[in-house]
Structure 1
Amino acid sequence: MDGSTLVKQAEQALSETFSEIDAQVKKNLHRVLSAYRNHRVGVHHFAGVTGYGHDDLGREVLDRVFAEIMGADAAIVRVQFVSGTHAIAAALYGVLRPGDELLSVAGAPYDTLEEVIGIRGTQQGSLRDFGISYRQLELTSEGMIDWHALKSAIQPHTRLVTIQRSCGYSWRPSLSIDDIEKIVFYVKQQNPHTLCFVDNCYGEFVEQREPTAVGADLMAGSLIKNPGGTIVSAGGYIAGRADLVEMAACRLTAPGVGSFGGATFNQNRLLFQGLFLSPQMVGEAKKGNHLTAYVFDQLGYGVNPVPFAPRRDVIQAIQLGSPEKMIAFCRTIQQYSPIGSYLDPVPAEMPGYESELVMAGGTFIDGSTSEFSADGPLREPYVVFCQGGTHWTHVAIALEAAIAAIRST
């Protein structure tokens, strides 16, 4: 069966799933519209200010809108965040103090956080350099949270538990909102003062609630992923308990400045518009994920999540089994991207990552993984991770070509 026929078969098989996604998009869009209406968002909020960024009405209202949508007390949405990793680091450095322990409950963290924590690299000002210790609970052999170990994991000096919602570059199920709620319950049962922080990258609007709506104290993410709606140029966010958000803001800017500074460089309109578009964009990405899972499962490759499984983020992993197939897959995705289709992805080192990466990223926003892209570390078992997608039909077109490329490798 050729790629076109296989993709068409997948589209037919997934018609009911696509309808369910549309229904969830409608619910998520409803809460976005409610927040915009409640805070009386108007065109005057698109204007920005210069210099210090004091009294930026649009920025202040966007923070309140974002917080309401996320079910949080407060939020900071800032173009000054370089990436999701930067936002996460600001939250961790803002809240943790020397002598505190940081506990990861979902196994090893994402590659780019290893140097932040101090697992890798030296003398770069990591958390370890500042006397903050780190411990992690390993996943079970099935890649699941070890609930038994979690029930007794909190020590007196465990200041913060970090929860990575997405699978990242690991072959495990991403966490559902119900999973996160359960983790928070177990942690608070042992010590109500231990903070629960969620790396929310790739997870926004995938379900109908966010981590801060189910008890997480703090969370962070990137605006060139889900909540930027594929049009925000740069930035990230932190949301949660108001005092903790302000502590993180003081790390981003300076003590005494906190959330009250930071010019928005005339980006307010895009920030508001991107957030409005986000539920729809996430829905399209989820459809593309389902399509990819179905097709490559039919071809006999391991996929995570499996076909028809509930989506918990906008990442679809495919275990291709060889570096040649990874490179061929990414080369084809690049060829069917709107930007840089003439480029040839080759494995290369990237700051913050341990292994060489091969990446297909022909996106309008550089590095945007809310647009359709694919990448992965060049290490066994050679898994490629597909993310995002502005519309599932683009994913379908690229998949048809990728199937042919894989078969000829």
Structure 2
Amino acid sequence: MNSIEQLQEAEQALLEIFSGIDAQVKHNLQRVLTAFRNHRVGAHHFASVSGYGHDDLGRETLDQVFAQVMGAEAALVRVQIVSGTHAITCALYGVLRPGDEMLAVIGSPYDTLEEVIGLRGQGQGSLIDFGIKYRQLELNEEGKIDWQALQHGIQENTKLVLIQRSCGYLWRPSLSIQEIEKIIHIVKQQNPNTVCFVDNCYGEFIDIKEPTHVGADLMAGSLIKNPGGTLVTAGGYIAGRADLVEAAACRLTAPGIGSAGGATFDQNRLLFQGLFLAPQMVGEAMKGTYLTGYVFDKLGYPVNPPPLAPRGDVIQAIKLGSAKKLIAFCKAIQQSSPIGSYLDPIPDDMPGYESEVVMAGGTFIEGSTLELSADGPLREPYVVYCQGGTHWTHVAIALQAAIEAVGEA
């Protein structure tokens, strides 16, 4: 069976799942439209102010719309947040103080957080540098949350629990909303004052609820991932309890300024329109993950999540088993991209990452992972992480090239 026939078989097998995704997109879009309507969003909200950014009506209204969509008391949506890691960092520094403990409940955090915490690097003002204690609960043998350890894991000084929704560079299932809700319930039973913080990167609009709908005190993510709808050129968001969001805002700007500052540089229209498009774009990306998982499972490669399993984010991992195949896969994705198709991905050091990374990212927005991209660290067992896709048909075209590049397992 050639690559075209393999993809056609996958498309037929996934028709029912694709239909279910379309229904979810409709539900989430209705949630977005309701928030736009409730806050009377109009063309006047697209205007921007300069300088300090005081009294930016569009920015203030977007914060309110975003909060409603996410089921949160408040939200901070800012182009000054340079990445998801930056948004998460603002939240952590906003909540934590010397002597507090942060507990990660899903094993090792994503590579780019290791230097923020202080597990790698030194002398740059990590959390550990500031006297904040760090502890993590390891995953069980199946790569899932150790519920037994969590039941007794919260201590008196555990100020914040870090819940990383996406798998990152770990071979584990991404968390479902139901699992996040269960984690929060267990934590709050032990210490109601412990802040439950969710790294929501790659997870927005994957479900009909967000972590803040099910009890998360605070969450953060990137606008060049899901909620930017592939239109937003830069930025991130923080949403949750109003006091915690403002504390994070004071770390982004300064105490006393908080959420009151930050010019939007004429980006308001894109920020609103990106949020409007986000449910549809995420739906297309989800279809792409199912297609990718199904095809490469048939080719004999271990895939995470499994082909027909519910999705927790817009990432599909494939264990390719060799550096040669990892590079070849990324090269095929790059050649099937609209931007920079003539470039060859080459493994290199990247800021914040422990290992060399090879990355295919022929995207209109640099680093956008709601547009189709693929990357992986050059280390055993050579796993490639496929992300995003503005329409599943583009994913199918790129997969045809990837199948031919790496062949069967």
Q: CA deviation at 1:407?
A: 2.1
Is the partner of 2:237 in helix, strand or coil?
strand
State TM-score, norm by structure 2. 0.99
Instruction: Give runs of aligned pairs for residues 136-147 of structure 1, distance below 5 A.
Output: 136-147=136-147
Instruction: Give runs of aligned pairs for residues 21-36 of structure 1, distance below 5 A.
Output: 21-36=21-36
> In 2, Cα distance between the equivalents of 1:190 and 1:294?
41
Is the partner of 2:129 in helix, strand or coil?
helix
Is the partner of 1:130 in helix, strand or coil?
coil
**1:311 maps to amino acid:** R
Is the partner of 1:93 in helix, strand or coil?
helix
Is the partner of 1:59 in helix, strand or coil?
helix
Unaligned runs of 5+ in 1: none
Aligned to 2:303: 303
**2:115 maps to amino acid:** E
Aligned to 2:330: 330
Aligned to 2:358: 358
Aligned to 2:132: 132
> In 2, Cα distance between the equivalents of 1:311 and 1:159?
30
> In 2, Cα distance between the equivalents of 1:26 and 1:386?
25
Aligned to 2:213: 213
> In 2, Cα distance between the equivalents of 1:304 and 1:191?
33
Aligned to 2:258: 258
> In 2, Cα distance between the equivalents of 1:205 and 1:59?
22
> In 1, Cα distance between the equivalents of 2:398 and 2:194?
46
> In 1, Cα distance between the equivalents of 2:185 and 2:310?
23
Instruction: Give runs of aligned pairs for residues 157-196 of structure 1, distance below 5 A.
Output: 157-196=157-196
Q: CA deviation at 1:408?
A: 9.0
Instruction: Give runs of aligned pairs for residues 12-161 of structure 1, distance below 5 A.
Output: 12-161=12-161
Deviations 1:273-325 (Å, cap 9, x if unpaired)?
Answer: 00000000000000000000000000000000111110110000000000000
Q: CA deviation at 1:401?
A: 1.0
Is the partner of 1:334 in helix, strand or coil?
helix
**1:20 maps to amino acid:** G
Is the partner of 1:10 in helix, strand or coil?
helix
> In 1, Cα distance between the equivalents of 2:243 and 2:129?
25
> In 1, Cα distance between the equivalents of 2:64 and 2:151?
35
State TM-score, norm by structure 1. 0.99
> In 1, Cα distance between the equivalents of 2:352 and 2:144?
26
- Count, aligned residues: 409
Unaligned runs of 5+ in 2: none
Deviations 1:140-171 (Å, cap 9, x if unpaired)?
Answer: 01011000110110111100000000000110
> In 2, Cα distance between the equivalents of 1:319 and 1:407?
13
Aligned to 1:406: 406
Aligned to 2:367: 367
Deviations 1:214-272 (Å, cap 9, x if unpaired)?
Answer: 00000000000000000100000000000000000000000000000000000000000
Deviations 1:51-82 (Å, cap 9, x if unpaired)?
Answer: 00000000000000000000000000000000
1:284 matched to 2:306: no
> In 2, Cα distance between the equivalents of 1:65 and 1:285?
24
Is the partner of 1:159 in helix, strand or coil?
strand
Deviations 1:191-231 (Å, cap 9, x if unpaired)?
Answer: 00000000000000000000011000000000000000001
> In 1, Cα distance between the equivalents of 2:218 and 2:381?
34
Contact persistence 2:299–2:408 (CA under 8 A): no
Aligned to 2:237: 237
> In 2, Cα distance between the equivalents of 1:303 and 1:337?
23
> In 2, Cα distance between the equivalents of 1:230 and 1:60?
22
